[in-house]
Structure 1
Amino acid sequence: MAHVLLLHGLAGKAAVWDPVAAALPPRFSRTTPELPWHGMADPAWAHRPDPARYVVDSVWSGHDVVVAHSMAANLLIESYADRRVRPRPTVLVCPFYRPEPAGFDWPTISYYLNDFHRTFSEALRVGETARFPEARREWLARSLRDQVGPYGWTRWFETYLRTPFLDLGAVDAPVLVVSGVDDVAARPDDGRALAKALPHGRFELLDGCGHFPMIEQPDRLAALVRDFFDESLELT
């Protein structure tokens, strides 16, 4: 029996992992915590620096493997690199990464600031709200953006900006990076570059998928997770 920890991203929720968890074999027990930045949560979580502390508190020694999405994936890999959490076999789903500081320019900031709601629009388009009219989904996406607020956005973007400076050599565990070819938030090039920079990184690109593979292709993602963890745990 292996214990897997599943961490959701910014404005997500623990239940986003339900389809993947249901497709995993019984030999994987699981923990899916509700993180402080879930859904329409109180934005006060972002009023203090170091959001990685919430991820550090979520990972304990009994977690054999971890799956983390989006911002949580970044905070997890940062916690590994900073030696605040012991690296273990991990799947990072749609993480953000730039290998060099020069990869960030003003158009990058403008896109992620002014079009921040687009990621939430995608989540609403493929999730349980897909049945809603587009105008209502757009209103909900902007409501989520407003709930996250400037502090939440800043905490997320600071995390992204720190990625070129991470000591990825400290991540001495196998890591599978999964990206969606149609992701409007975390570019597939980000995931590919991160996997290349990790000592034991591997990259998988999912066709016909955006920023939420756990919703769009849960069976395929679950198969990747299962096979990767089976192989990794045999090696460890």
Structure 2
Amino acid sequence: MSVDPGRYAAPVRRSGGEAEQQPVIVRCARRALAPDPLRVLLLHGLCSNGGVWDPFLPLADPRCELWTADLPWRGTGVHGWTGLPVETWADQAVAAVPGGPDVVIAHSFGTSAALTWLDRWSTGGADARGPSAVVLVSPLYRATAEEFDWNSLAYYVNNFDRILIEGMHMGPSRRLPEERRHTIAMKIRDLVSPYGWFQFFGTYLRMPQMRTERMTMPFLLVSGGEDMVAAPSDAEALAKSLPDASVHVLPRHGHFPMVTAVEEFADLTNTFLRTRLPGPPSGSPHLTMEHNR
């Protein structure tokens, strides 16, 4: 979960000057600086947008072609986005990358969207191919239903405004007085509405159902040691459930390690990709789910 009201206050514009209202908008943020690129799709968290990845873009490995998605839970949300499961929107982002992504990198609520998409993808036929590697930043995951109790629900309800305020420290709004940030956070909370919050928490509740044993590609999980949204224990539990995963907890960092520790995050990600995907992409077809658009 993340928020940057300084980024979403002004609508993104088309060349004709009309505000874009499509639920999913995917753009190439950086072309690769090497032949045979790795196509990388970046997914953001709740109340954020693709701009949250801006600090990472210039530091990514030169062979990475970077695609950012503005998903329907950006800002205060595109009207009606909660009517469909999050994996539907993730699939639309995947389908918008020409040839499909070789790597998916996701943050916070975006990790939930990625995992639920991967869960549905894993039921595909023998010829289906998903991403070759996945990087999840501040993932939200619990292995069993028993780990969710009433205290879990109360924590995320009662601290929603604090979570939003933390996200505001990552963008231009960090320069505002604390009282002003709190006022804005409360307005954002009300605009997101219980529907947006329930979609976030409802997706979190689905994590024990994920068939992670089918997700055989290598995973890199990065967590902040002081994350108040997605505890490092979530990343560690997810790593145990995956066939091939490594975890890196960055001490003294919170929910946005790809911003607050961007050089360390970039080094971890680049090393992971160079080690686990040393050659050029195979060029074999990528899978996208069929659904009504």
Structure having the higher helix fraction is 1
Question: 2: CA distance between counterparts of 1:51 and 1:132?
Answer: 32
In structure 1, give the amino acid aligned to 2:121: R
Secondary structure of the residue aligned to 1:82 is: helix
Matched, 1:36 2:72: yes
Q: Over the residues paired in the alignment, what is the CA RMSD in angstroms? A: 1.6
Question: 2: CA distance between counterparts of 1:95 and 1:145?
Answer: 21
Structure 2 unaligned blocks of 5 or more: 1-36, 123-128, 282-293
> Identity over the aligned pairs, expressed in percent?
37
In structure 2, give the amino acid aligned to 1:75: A
Matched, 1:118 2:162: yes
Residue in 1 aligned with 2:119?
Answer: 81
Secondary structure of the residue aligned to 1:6 is: strand
Residue in 1 aligned with 2:241?
Answer: 197
Q: CA deviation at 1:87?
A: 4.2
When Rg is computed on C-alpha atoms for both structures, the one with the higher figure is 2
CA contact (8 A) 1:55 1:76 kept: yes
Q: CA deviation at 1:66?
A: 1.1
TM-score (norm 1): 0.94
TM-score (norm 2): 0.76
Query: Could you give the per-residue CA deviations for residues 64-116 of structure 1, whole angstroms, max 9, x where no partner exists?
Result: 11110011111111211222682430100001111111101111100111211
Give the ranges of 4+ consecutive aligned residues of structure 1 lying more than 3 Å apart after TM superposition: none
Question: 2: CA distance between counterparts of 1:155 and 1:45?
Answer: 9
CA contact (8 A) 2:253 2:260 kept: yes
- Count, aligned residues: 235
CA contact (8 A) 2:104 2:131 kept: no
Structure 1 unaligned blocks of 5 or more: none
CA contact (8 A) 2:86 2:116 kept: no
Question: 2: CA distance between counterparts of 1:231 and 1:31?
Answer: 21
Secondary structure of the residue aligned to 2:55 is: helix
Question: 2: CA distance between counterparts of 1:6 and 1:35?
Answer: 10
Q: CA deviation at 1:36?
A: 0.8
CA contact (8 A) 1:87 1:172 kept: no
Partner residue of 1:57 out of 65, 86, 92? 92
Query: Could you give the per-residue CA deviations for residues 162-213 of structure 1, whole angstroms, max 9, x where no partner exists?
Result: 1111110110100111110111111110111001111111111011211111
Question: 1: CA distance between counterparts of 2:120 and 2:61?
Answer: 32
Matched, 1:226 2:270: yes
Question: 1: CA distance between counterparts of 2:214 and 2:131?
Answer: 8
